[in-house]
Amino acid sequence: MASLKMTERHKAMAYILNREFGYPMTAIANLMGVAQSTISSAIKDFEYQRLIKNLEQELNNAREELKSLGYNPPDVIMGE
């Protein structure tokens, strides 16, 4: 099979088909015209990206909560 670059949308679709709908990776690979290993890598990559974005959102939420409690970043980095 040809080695195709999967878009983020395709990775998301592969993730949903596999993790939420229960489709096997081989079926998704056939559907998308790529190797099963490509689907496996795409799903892993999507999971990492999802984790990173969720952690970024948690950091933003914590920053906002700290600001609402009156905490602000220092003008200079502590210890310098």
pLDDT at 72: 85
pLDDT of 58 above 80: yes
Q: How far apart are CA 29 and CA 42, in angstroms?
A: 11
Q: How far apart are CA 9 and CA 17, in angstroms?
A: 12
Which sequence spans correspond to the domains of the chain? 8-68
Share of the chain above pLDDT 70, in %: 89
Given a contact cutoff of 8 angstroms between Cβ atoms, the answer to whether 35 and 29 are in contact is: yes
Cα separations in angstroms, 34 against 4, 41, 44 = 7, 11, 16
pLDDT of 42 above 90: yes
Q: What is the pTM of this model?
A: 0.72
pLDDT of 23 above 50: yes
